[in-house]
Protein backbone atom coordinates (compact mmCIF):
# COMPACT_ATOMS: atom_id res chain seq x y z
CA UNK A 1 0.00 0.00 0.00
CA UNK A 2 2.75 2.43 1.06
CA UNK A 3 4.88 1.31 -1.84
CA UNK A 4 1.98 1.96 -4.21
CA UNK A 5 1.49 5.43 -2.72
CA UNK A 6 5.20 6.22 -3.09
CA UNK A 7 5.18 5.07 -6.69
CA UNK A 8 2.07 7.03 -7.57
CA UNK A 9 3.38 10.15 -5.88
CA UNK A 10 6.75 9.94 -7.59
CA UNK A 11 5.13 9.49 -10.98
CA UNK A 12 2.51 12.20 -10.65
CA UNK A 13 3.84 14.86 -8.30
CA UNK A 14 7.63 14.81 -8.60
CA UNK A 15 7.82 15.81 -12.31
CA UNK A 16 6.40 19.23 -11.44
CA UNK A 17 9.21 20.23 -9.12
CA UNK A 18 10.70 22.78 -11.55
CA UNK A 19 7.63 24.98 -11.82
CA UNK A 20 7.28 24.97 -8.03
CA UNK A 21 10.94 25.78 -7.49
CA UNK A 22 10.92 28.59 -10.04
CA UNK A 23 7.82 30.14 -8.53
CA UNK A 24 9.25 29.80 -5.00
CA UNK A 25 12.53 31.35 -6.14
CA UNK A 26 10.80 34.35 -7.70
CA UNK A 27 8.58 34.83 -4.68
CA UNK A 28 11.31 34.55 -2.02
CA UNK A 29 14.33 35.78 -4.03
CA UNK A 30 16.37 33.25 -2.06
CA UNK A 31 17.47 29.80 -3.29
CA UNK A 32 17.58 28.50 0.30
CA UNK A 33 14.08 29.73 1.15
CA UNK A 34 12.81 28.39 -2.17
CA UNK A 35 14.32 24.98 -1.43
CA UNK A 36 12.68 24.94 2.00
CA UNK A 37 9.32 25.86 0.50
CA UNK A 38 9.49 23.19 -2.16
CA UNK A 39 10.57 20.53 0.31
CA UNK A 40 7.79 21.51 2.68
CA UNK A 41 5.31 21.42 -0.22
CA UNK A 42 6.27 17.87 -1.18
CA UNK A 43 6.18 16.75 2.42
CA UNK A 44 2.66 18.14 2.84
CA UNK A 45 1.53 16.85 -0.55
CA UNK A 46 2.71 13.36 0.32
CA UNK A 47 1.03 13.54 3.71
CA UNK A 48 -2.27 14.57 2.15
CA UNK A 49 -1.95 12.52 -1.01
CA UNK A 50 -5.26 10.78 -0.28
CA UNK A 51 -6.95 14.21 -0.45
CA UNK A 52 -5.77 14.77 -4.02
CA UNK A 53 -8.55 13.98 -6.50
CA UNK A 54 -7.06 11.77 -9.16
CA UNK A 55 -7.43 13.16 -12.65
CA UNK A 56 -7.58 16.80 -11.54
CA UNK A 57 -4.78 19.28 -12.19
CA UNK A 58 -1.89 18.01 -10.09
CA UNK A 59 0.26 21.07 -10.84
CA UNK A 60 -2.47 23.37 -9.57
CA UNK A 61 -2.93 21.25 -6.44
CA UNK A 62 0.81 21.31 -5.65
CA UNK A 63 0.99 25.00 -6.45
CA UNK A 64 -1.80 25.84 -4.01
CA UNK A 65 -0.01 23.93 -1.24
CA UNK A 66 3.18 25.85 -1.97
CA UNK A 67 1.38 29.19 -2.15
CA UNK A 68 -0.31 28.60 1.20
CA UNK A 69 3.03 27.70 2.76
CA UNK A 70 4.55 30.84 1.27
CA UNK A 71 1.75 33.00 2.64
CA UNK A 72 2.04 31.48 6.11
CA UNK A 73 5.78 31.93 6.23
CA UNK A 74 6.52 35.10 4.37
CA UNK A 75 3.50 37.32 3.98
CA UNK A 76 4.15 39.24 7.17
CA UNK A 77 7.74 39.80 6.18
CA UNK A 78 6.96 41.18 2.72
CA UNK A 79 8.48 44.56 2.14
CA UNK A 80 6.38 47.49 1.10
CA UNK A 81 6.52 48.05 -2.65
CA UNK A 82 8.93 50.71 -3.76
CA UNK A 83 7.19 54.01 -4.28
CA UNK A 84 6.58 54.87 -7.90
CA UNK A 85 6.25 58.50 -8.76
CA UNK A 86 3.19 58.44 -11.00
CA UNK A 87 3.42 62.15 -11.77
CA UNK A 88 6.79 61.57 -13.36
CA UNK A 89 5.44 58.61 -15.29
CA UNK A 90 2.58 60.74 -16.55
CA UNK A 91 5.03 63.43 -17.60
CA UNK A 92 7.02 60.82 -19.41
CA UNK A 93 3.99 59.74 -21.41
CA UNK A 94 3.29 63.32 -22.26
CA UNK A 95 6.86 63.71 -23.48
CA UNK A 96 6.38 60.70 -25.77
CA UNK A 97 3.31 62.30 -27.21
CA UNK A 98 4.92 65.70 -27.60
CA UNK A 99 8.28 64.55 -28.93
CA UNK A 100 6.93 62.07 -31.46
CA UNK A 101 9.17 59.22 -30.31
CA UNK A 102 8.88 56.20 -32.57
CA UNK A 103 7.15 53.54 -30.45
CA UNK A 104 9.05 50.82 -32.24
CA UNK A 105 12.31 52.12 -30.79
CA UNK A 106 10.97 52.37 -27.28
CA UNK A 107 11.56 48.76 -26.25
CA UNK A 108 15.23 48.66 -27.12
CA UNK A 109 15.95 52.20 -25.96
CA UNK A 110 14.24 51.96 -22.62
CA UNK A 111 14.38 48.35 -21.53
CA UNK A 112 17.42 47.12 -23.43
CA UNK A 113 19.89 48.47 -20.90
CA UNK A 114 18.11 47.32 -17.76
CA UNK A 115 19.99 44.94 -15.51
CA UNK A 116 18.73 41.69 -14.08
CA UNK A 117 18.80 43.32 -10.65
CA UNK A 118 16.42 46.05 -11.85
CA UNK A 119 13.92 43.51 -13.09
CA UNK A 120 14.27 41.31 -10.00
CA UNK A 121 13.79 44.33 -7.74
CA UNK A 122 10.71 45.47 -9.64
CA UNK A 123 9.20 42.01 -9.57
CA UNK A 124 9.94 41.64 -5.87
CA UNK A 125 8.22 44.93 -5.16
CA UNK A 126 4.97 43.86 -6.81
CA UNK A 127 2.17 43.05 -4.40
CA UNK A 128 2.03 39.29 -3.93
CA UNK A 129 -1.20 38.60 -5.84
CA UNK A 130 -0.03 40.56 -8.87
CA UNK A 131 3.43 39.04 -8.71
CA UNK A 132 1.99 35.53 -8.73
CA UNK A 133 0.02 35.99 -11.95
CA UNK A 134 2.86 37.86 -13.66
CA UNK A 135 5.28 35.03 -12.82
CA UNK A 136 2.85 32.33 -13.93
CA UNK A 137 1.95 34.09 -17.18
CA UNK A 138 5.11 35.88 -18.28
CA UNK A 139 7.81 33.57 -16.92
CA UNK A 140 6.09 30.19 -16.79
CA UNK A 141 3.92 30.79 -19.86
CA UNK A 142 0.70 29.42 -18.36
CA UNK A 143 -2.67 30.19 -19.94
CA UNK A 144 -5.24 32.36 -18.16
CA UNK A 145 -7.34 29.24 -17.58
CA UNK A 146 -4.55 27.37 -15.87
CA UNK A 147 -3.55 30.38 -13.77
CA UNK A 148 -7.17 30.67 -12.64
CA UNK A 149 -6.99 27.06 -11.51
CA UNK A 150 -3.65 27.61 -9.81
CA UNK A 151 -4.77 30.62 -7.81
CA UNK A 152 -8.34 29.38 -7.46
CA UNK A 153 -10.13 32.46 -8.76
CA UNK A 154 -12.16 33.43 -11.86
CA UNK A 155 -10.40 34.14 -15.15
CA UNK A 156 -11.60 37.74 -15.01
CA UNK A 157 -9.70 38.20 -11.75
CA UNK A 158 -6.57 36.69 -13.28
CA UNK A 159 -6.89 39.05 -16.23
CA UNK A 160 -7.31 42.16 -14.10
CA UNK A 161 -4.46 41.18 -11.74
CA UNK A 162 -2.22 40.51 -14.68
CA UNK A 163 -2.99 43.81 -16.35
CA UNK A 164 -2.55 45.74 -13.16
CA UNK A 165 0.63 43.84 -12.24
CA UNK A 166 2.18 44.41 -15.64
CA UNK A 167 1.37 48.09 -15.49
CA UNK A 168 2.98 48.56 -12.08
CA UNK A 169 5.98 46.52 -13.19
CA UNK A 170 6.34 48.48 -16.41
CA UNK A 171 6.14 51.80 -14.57
CA UNK A 172 8.81 50.68 -12.11
CA UNK A 173 11.06 49.56 -14.96
CA UNK A 174 10.52 52.91 -16.65
CA UNK A 175 11.53 54.60 -13.43
CA UNK A 176 14.74 52.55 -13.27
CA UNK A 177 15.42 53.30 -16.95
CA UNK A 178 15.06 57.00 -16.29
CA UNK A 179 17.38 56.81 -13.29
CA UNK A 180 19.95 55.04 -15.46
CA UNK A 181 19.55 57.81 -18.04
CA UNK A 182 18.20 55.52 -20.79
CA UNK A 183 15.26 57.86 -21.36
CA UNK A 184 14.75 61.56 -20.95
CA UNK A 185 12.23 62.94 -18.54
CA UNK A 186 11.86 64.85 -15.36
CA UNK A 187 14.60 63.97 -12.90
CA UNK A 188 13.98 62.23 -9.59
Which residues form the interface with other proteins (CB under 8 A)? Answer: 2-3, 6, 9-10, 14, 17-18, 21-22, 25-26, 31-32, 35-36, 38-40, 42-43, 46-47, 93, 96-97, 100-101, 103-104, 106-108, 110-111, 114-116, 119-120, 123, 134-135, 137-140, 144, 159, 162-163, 166-167, 169-170, 173-174
Q: Least distance from C-beta 188 to other proteins, angstroms? A: 19
What is the distance between the alpha carbons of residues 63 and 76, in angstroms, rounded to a whole number? Answer: 20
Give the residue from 165, 131, 148, 160 showing the smallest Cα distance to 60. Answer: 148
Of the candidates 51, 6, 47, 42, the residue with the CA atom closest to the CA atom of residue 24: 42
Cβ(45)–Cβ(28) below 8 Å:
no
CB of 32 to other proteins, least distance (A): 5
Nearer of residues 32 and 80 to other proteins, judged by Cβ: 32
Q: What is the DSSP letter of 79?
A: P
Give the list of residues 6+ apart from residue 17 with CB closer than 8 angstroms, or none: 38, 42
- Comparing CB distances to other proteins, the nearer of 60 and 158 is 158
Q: Please report how close the Cβ of residue 146 comes to other proteins at its closest, in angstroms.
A: 12
**Which lies closer to other proteins via its Cβ, residue 53 or residue 102?**
102
Amino acid sequence: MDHQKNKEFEQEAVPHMDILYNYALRMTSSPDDAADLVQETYLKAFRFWDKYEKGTNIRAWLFRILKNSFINKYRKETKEPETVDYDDIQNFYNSIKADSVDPNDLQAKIFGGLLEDDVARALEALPEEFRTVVILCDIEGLSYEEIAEFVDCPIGTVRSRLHRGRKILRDMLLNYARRHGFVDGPGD
